[in-house]
Amino acid sequence: MERVNDAANHTAESVPGPPSTAPAPADGGSRKGSGSRLYPRVTSFRSRRGALTATQQQSWNRTWPKIGREVADQPLDAAAWFGREAPLVIEIGCGTGTATAAMAQAEPHLNLIGIEVYQPGLAQLVQRIEREQIDNIRLLRGDAVDVLENMIAEQSLTGVRVFFPDPWPKARHHKRRLLQPATFALIANRLRPGGVLHVATDHADYAEFIAEVGAAEPQLIGLNETTGGISAEHRDSAPIGFERPVTKFEGKAHRAGSAINEFIWGKIE
């Protein structure tokens, strides 16, 4: 079944390759280029190609230079990019952006960055941003781990959203799952105290994996029932909303009888 966020962490124009043999930086710093990273160079997205339509390309040419960038190794100045100071939220794997756009419109006080590798999916979101004049979304095209490692400062994020990442169901592919212990630790490091990590999946085995790894991250505490918390105690005081719009792909999951598991953690203050 296709995921809610069509390209969430699992579509790209390059096939996941073998782990890199490049040595780690001598100073133990972040990865530059194709060297070492938090875990071996095994990406969490699948190969996928697609061309833009003529109207998508026109919208892309008009709007992408302002709201979009390729992932790079330089730290990101979000306030300058958005033209304002506001709490920063990133969505890993925004896909075609149905949920991204709706949540940005519901939370105009937040600056939202969507990260995606699949250009046709991004192009659909770019069209909607242009058509509906959504001012609080910016887009990065590339690997989300690279963004977290190289572009986002420690304790600078108010929220991180990861909706329906690829579960890589075969055991031999579990190393490709995005939400590994190292990624949880990295996300927690980038969240400010009180910041929120919100994850959703419709894959039962991946849900068990996520629950176990998230519970083991010492910087995070559960905010909803799935993570051992009580959502009613945190919903009103949390810096980002707990609600998600249901997209057509999630509707397919419901009709197929797949349970949706929601995980919400907070960074310990």
According to the 3-state scheme, what is the secondary structure of the chain? CCCCCCCCCCEECCCCCCCCCCCCCCCCCCCCCCCCCCCCCCCCCEECCCCCCHHHHHHHHHHHHHHEEECCCCCCCHHHHHCCCCCEEEEECCCCCHHHHHHHHHCCCCEEEEEECCHHHHHHHHHHHHHHCCCCEEEEECCHHHHHHHCCCCCCEEEEEEECCCCCCCHHHHHHCCCCHHHHHHHHHHEEEEEEEEEEECCHHHHHHHHHHHHCCCCEEECCHHHCCCHHHHCCCCCCCCCCCCCHHHHHHHHCCCCCEEEEEEECC
Give Cα separations from 102 to 112, 115, 124, 126, 204 (angstroms).
Answer: 11, 16, 14, 13, 26
- The distance from CA 217 to its chain's CA centroid, rounded to whole angstroms, is 18
pLDDT tens string 186-238: 999 999 999 999 999 999 999 999 999 999 999 999 999 999 999 999 999 99
pLDDT of 185: 98
Name the nearest CA neighbour of 102 among 150, 136, 58, 56: 136
The partner residues of 17 in beta bridges, in order of sequence, read none
Answer whether 0.85 is exceeded by the pTM: no
pLDDT confidence tier of residue 37, bands split at 50, 70 and 90: low
| Other beta carbons within 10 Å of 264 | 24
Which residue is it, tokens 């005081």? 237
236 is catalytic: no
Token output for 99: 């949920």
pLDDT of 229: 98
Question: Taking all residues of the chain, what is their mean pLDDT, rounded to a whole number?
Answer: 85
Rounded distance, CA 242 to CA 12, Å? 28
| Other beta carbons within 10 Å of 206 | 22
* Three-state secondary structure call for residue 39: coil
Catalytic residue (choose from 6, 143, 146, 166): 166
User: Exposed (0-12), middle (13-18) or buried (19+): which is 153, by Cβ within 10 Å?
Assistant: middle
pLDDT confidence tier of residue 6, bands split at 50, 70 and 90: very low
Query: Which amino acid is residue 166, in one-letter code?
Result: D
